[in-house]
């Protein structure tokens, strides 16, 4: 690529202007054009490039049946490019500074049903490598883009980098295994044909986002608004969504379609991939950690704060996954007991229990938890008694006391926890 750029720069700074002026006077599309091309030892594509170029603008969507040439601008090229190719054959896209150029500035080849990205940084770097004089000339000229299908026809979509065609319910793009789809819209919908669904093994859908921001994905049957048959929040680029394999196989057998919905926050860009029949790399060494309640562990882009034991499935490479056993244990804090005597007047105003920095207003037992980020949780059972004496409680009677946890008030009776409406909660005191 560097050698190509050097040759282009030399061509720009020497006799390219003369060649352009001479060839401009040629009768295009005539035998004379072909003869003069041979005489001046110009590339064979000159006459076709000069005569049959079409105007290029982002976005471009069209059917390609044979080699086609387009006139672009440097400003458009500087945006980068995301090129989609829907076909059974491959396609090559080349960018030349002139029709007389024998070597492209850069080129990309996409296989059947593939997408290729060229980011703006790469293109700007290549243009800068050509030197200031070459860049000044390019600003006055119109670069040429050649789209060359290799042995077939297809449909091409060209968008600036990090953009892609909108795929909606009334006009969905076909979702192809192994193909990359840019999701720059808040919601996109793709159609999965039954013939492409796995017949035996599993499949997975991967969401890729530069900052590992999440996306919501779900599957519907037969149509965009059909029965929902799968849903997941893909939290990051490392974890994948694996649809139910029995459902996928049944859908294929019944020759029904699936529709993939992808939704994320606005002003965010990600990419979606679909792979069938995944491979599995050697499992990673498992992790087993134990700490106090209140602290957290972060592994594989996820944070854990409660007892957890499971096998994590991670994206490894292309169509390959990897597993890892995870075990986290968080020990409960030991309850500290404290009994204090408070006069009624003081309690009505709110009594400040300094060790927990908590204010209480009633007599009896109160569970207070102190929760701070990445700090072991502290738990107190505070008993407040009236200075005038004690309440009489018979042995065996249920003992009720209050609990304040994360600013919420609960009532504890025989280790069962109730909210202020009298509804029992799932959690209980250990």
Q: Where are the alpha helices (DSSP H) in 74-199?
A: 74-77, 120-129, 132-140
Residue 44 is encoded by which pair of tokens? 């064979």
Q: pLDDT for 363-391, tens place per residue? A: 999 899 989 999 999 999 999 888 765 44
Q: Which of 249, 261, 177, 273 is nearest to 216 (CA)?
A: 261
Lowest-pLDDT choice from 119-128, 226-235, 364-373: 119-128
Burial bucket for residue 308 (CB in 10 Å: 0-12, 13-18, 19+): middle
Give the span between the Cα atoms of 428 and 411, in whole angstroms: 11
Q: pLDDT for 187-209, tens place per residue? A: 999 999 999 999 888 999 999 99
**Average pLDDT of the residues in 390-413:** 58
**Average pLDDT of the residues in 145-167:** 94
Task: Give the best-scoring range by mean pLDDT among 305-319, 332-346, 380-394.
Answer: 305-319
Residue 238: pLDDT band with limits 50, 70, 90? very high
* Residue 21: pLDDT over 80: no
Which residues is 279 bridged to in the sheet? 320
Domains, the chain, with CATH or none? 2-159 (no CATH), 173-277 (2.60.120.380), 280-331 (no CATH), 335-418 (no CATH)
pLDDT at 156: 94
CA distances 295 to 330, 404, 407, Å, are 8, 20, 19
Residue 17: pLDDT band with limits 50, 70, 90? very low
* Residue 135: pLDDT over 90: no
Give the span between the Cα atoms of 31 and 310, in whole angstroms: 74
Give the span between the Cα atoms of 259 and 175, in whole angstroms: 9
Q: How does DSSP assign 318-342, residue by residue?
A: TTEEEEEEEEEEEEPPPEEEEEEEE
Lowest-pLDDT choice from 23-27, 62-66, 196-200: 23-27
pLDDT at 406: 62
pLDDT at 11: 43
Tell me the three state secondary structure of residue 160: coil
pTM: 0.78
Give the span between the Cα atoms of 188 and 168, in whole angstroms: 6
pLDDT at 392: 42
* Residue 259: pLDDT over 80: yes
Residue 139: pLDDT band with limits 50, 70, 90? low
Residues 6 or more apart in contact with residue 113 via CB below 8 angstroms: 85, 86, 87, 88, 176, 178, 179
Burial bucket for residue 331 (CB in 10 Å: 0-12, 13-18, 19+): middle
CA distances 247 to 195, 201, 230, 233, 254, Å, are 14, 11, 9, 19, 11
The share of the chain scoring above pLDDT 70, in percent, equals 81
pLDDT at 282: 97
Give the span between the Cα atoms of 214 and 263, in whole angstroms: 9
pLDDT at 33: 73
* Residue 393: pLDDT over 80: no
């Amino acid at each position: 690529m560097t050698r190509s750029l050097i040759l282009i720069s030399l061509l720009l700074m020497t006799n390219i202007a003369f060649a352009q002026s001479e060839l401009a006077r040629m009768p295009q599309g005539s035998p004379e054009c072909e003869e003069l091309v041979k005489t001046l030892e110009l590339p064979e594509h000159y006459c076709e490039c000069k005569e049959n170029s079409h105007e290029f603008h982002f976005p471009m969507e069209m059917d390609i049946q044979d080699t086609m040439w387009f006139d672009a601008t440097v400003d458009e090229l500087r945006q980068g490019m995301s090129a989609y190719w829907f076909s059974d054959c491959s396609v090559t896209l080349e960018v030349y500074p002139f029709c007389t150029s024998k070597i492209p500035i850069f080129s990309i080849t996409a296989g059947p049903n593939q997408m290729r990205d060229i980011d703006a940084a790469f293109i700007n770097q290549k243009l800068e490598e050509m030197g200031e004089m070459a860049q000044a000339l390019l600003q006055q000229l119109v670069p040429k883009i050649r789209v060359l299908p290799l042995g077939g026809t297809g449909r091409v979509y060209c968008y600036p980098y990090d953009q892609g065609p909108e795929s909606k319910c009334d006009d969905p793009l076909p979702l192809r295994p192994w193909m990359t789809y840019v999701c720059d819209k808040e919601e996109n919908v793709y159609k999965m044909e039954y013939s492409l669904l796995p017949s035996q093994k599993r499949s997975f859908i991967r969401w890729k986002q530069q900052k590992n921001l999440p996306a919501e994905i779900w599957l519907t049957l037969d149509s965009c608004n059909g029965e929902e048959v799968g849903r997941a929040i893909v939290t990051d680029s490392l974890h994948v969504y694996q649809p139910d394999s029995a459902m996928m196989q049944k859908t294929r057998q019944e020759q029904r379609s699936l529709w993939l919905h992808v939704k994320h926050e606005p002003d965010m860009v990600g990419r979606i991939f679909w792979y069938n029949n995944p491979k599995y790399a050697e499992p990673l060494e498992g992790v087993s950690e134990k700490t106090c309640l209140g602290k957290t562990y972060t592994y594989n882009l996820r944070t854990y704060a409660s007892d957890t034991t499971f096998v994590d499935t991670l994206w490894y490479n292309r169509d390959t996954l990897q597993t890892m056993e995870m075990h986290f244990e968080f020990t409960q804090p030991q309850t500290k007991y404290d009994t204090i005597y408070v006069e009624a007047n003081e309690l009505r105003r709110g009594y400040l229990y300094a060790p927990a920095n908590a204010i209480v207003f009633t007599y009896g037992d109160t569970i207070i938890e102190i929760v701070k980020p990445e700090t072991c949780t502290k738990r107190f059972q505070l008993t407040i008694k009236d200075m005038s004496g004690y309440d009489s409680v018979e042995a065996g009677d249920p003992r009720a006391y209050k609990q304040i946890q994360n600013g919420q008030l609960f009532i504890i009776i025989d280790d069962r926890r109730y909210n202020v409406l009298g509804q029992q909660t799932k959690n209980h005191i250990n």
